[in-house]
Amino acid sequence: MDTPILKKKWEKNYEIADEQLKKIKKVKGVATGFNANIDAIYKITGEKLSELIKKTKMSLKELENIERCRILDEKDFVKGIFKSFRYGIAEEWICENKKVYDWIKKQIGYDYLQIGGQGGIMANVLSTVGVKKVFVHANSLPAIQAEQFAKNDNLLSFDEKGEMKPAYQINRSKDLPLMHWIIEFKRSDTIEIEGKIFKTPKANRFIATYDPLNLKLVLDENYMAKIKEEKLDFVVLSGFHALLSNNDGEALIDKVAERIKEWKKSAPKTIFHLEVASTQDVIIRRAIALKLIPLVSSIGVNERETMDLLEVLDQKALAKRCREQTTAENLLKGLSKIKEKTGVERVQLHMFGLYLTLQDKGFKISPEDNLKGMMTASVVGASKAKTGEVDSKSIKSVKHEVSDVGLIELDSLATALGQPNLVISGLGRYKLWDLIAVPTILIEKPITLVGMGDTISSISLISAR
């Protein structure tokens, strides 16, 4: 593999992104749901984590003893941060205790607020890149939450009387603000505990979620009724990952499945996509895999979510293999199993440095269009990582240079599949399906990572045209 030549080739391929961004403006309507919340961003360092550990008087042994991936007391919160920090992994744990929530608020506060939740994040991004109308579902919309939405008049939601308005102007003053703590750390930061040094291998985040409404999957009935009157090209759904099996989670999934079926009936031409999101509760994860994925035509996953899905689809050995060797080749096997087991027509993986889409032949979006959408997503994602913004100025500042990591991964995949052209064109096949692969632009020092997957999946789908 000659990397500089390939990089040039992909730089050329990526030229199409500008064109795609213009085409997005032709998309008439997208609905995003169901979760929108406030993300309270807190940048943690090894030093600050050390203070928290001291405050909670925890030994290393205690920190490592994780019996539940949930936050029932302060110690769970600190354990979660430590686990994410030391392995450089993304985790989201649910906090069900208001007292712990108050404790977190008092102990660390936050650096700044921004919109959160897959639905919220995707709505901000899609309205900013120019989709004509974006309808965001919000089960809570007091001013503090509404203010986190982009000041875009094409980003719409509903007030308490069911009147449609730009989301940022709404103030459903009786609603509860839903706060999620996003504890972000940098790569190579260190912490010393009992003489042992731990160094984070990757910049990442730990999320502590206190969100009674999304935990119950409360729907805004005004939205659910009125959205059926709108012409929608896409419905992008997520927000089921915070449900808990000991809190009626499965029944809530059954109920929402019925609502989605109804919605689909009223919008037969609309493409429904599900962003899977990291789901800790295994029973809920299985219900998402078996009851929700079969309802949509397309899903988005990262590496971790791929393995998690495999686990609940009785593919433990393959999940283990992916965990031990997180290569594109193994993950592709994983995607194909997910497709087989759920029947979903299109699966898209965004992994570090590479995106892969596996889809049915004859799917509504052609492989060529998918390829264009994936490259556009890479540019928009890089813009977000670089500046935190996805406006045209920021998007223009991104250099179209794909990462070595992605190219190397793609090259080994192409070799393993015996499809040398895949590394040049990004188009190939796997079993009976079309395979599309794109090496991505990586930003050396991203200023933010939260919401990256949501941005990639939604832009990739919506700009595939």
Binding region for ligand GLC (CB under 6 A): 35, 37, 39, 92, 116-118, 121, 180, 207, 209, 277, 450-451, 454
Q: For the chain, what percentages of helix, strand and coil (3-state, to nearest 5) are there?
A: 45, 20, 35
Cβ atoms of 215 and 176 closer than 8 Å: no
Shortest distance, position 265 Cβ to ligand GLC, whole Å = 27
**Beta strands at 234-237 and 271-275: parallel, antiparallel or unpaired:** parallel
For 427-461, letters b (16+ CB in 10 Å) and e give: bbebeebbbbbbbbbbbeebebbbbbbbbbbbbbb
Shortest distance, position 317 Cβ to ligand GLC, whole Å = 29
CB closer to ligand GLC, 279 vs 298: 279
Q: What are phi and psi of 227, to 5 degrees?
A: -65, -25
CB closer to ligand GLC, 308 vs 411: 308
Which position has the token pair 């190219």?
407
CB closer to ligand GLC, 72 vs 427: 72
CB closer to ligand GLC, 31 vs 125: 125
Shortest distance, position 121 Cβ to ligand GLC, whole Å = 6
Burial of 352 (0-12, 13-18, 19+ CB in 10 A): middle
Which position has the token pair 């409360």?
218
The amino acid present at 40, given as its one-letter code, is A
Shortest distance, position 455 Cβ to ligand GLC, whole Å = 9
CB closer to ligand GLC, 356 vs 450: 450
The amino acid present at 48, given as its one-letter code, is K
Give the CB-nearest residue to ligand GLC: 116
Shortest distance, position 39 Cβ to ligand GLC, whole Å = 5
CB closer to ligand GLC, 219 vs 427: 219
Shortest distance, position 319 Cβ to ligand GLC, whole Å = 22
CB closer to ligand GLC, 37 vs 270: 37
What the block records as the tokens of 177 is: 């603000």
CB closer to ligand GLC, 276 vs 371: 276
Shortest distance, position 450 Cβ to ligand GLC, whole Å = 5
How many angstroms separate the CA atoms of 60 and 76, rounded? 13
How many angstroms separate the CA atoms of 52 and 61, rounded? 16
Shortest distance, position 119 Cβ to ligand GLC, whole Å = 9
How many angstroms separate the CA atoms of 133 and 235, rounded? 12
How many angstroms separate the CA atoms of 38 and 124, rounded? 13
What the block records as the tokens of 267 is: 């919008």
Question: Reduced to 3 states, what is the DSSP secondary structure of residue 459?
Answer: helix
Shortest distance, position 243 Cβ to ligand GLC, whole Å = 12
Which position has the token pair 């994925």?
293
Hey, CA dihedral for 92, 96, 101, 103, is it positive or negative?
negative
CB closer to ligand GLC, 92 vs 189: 92
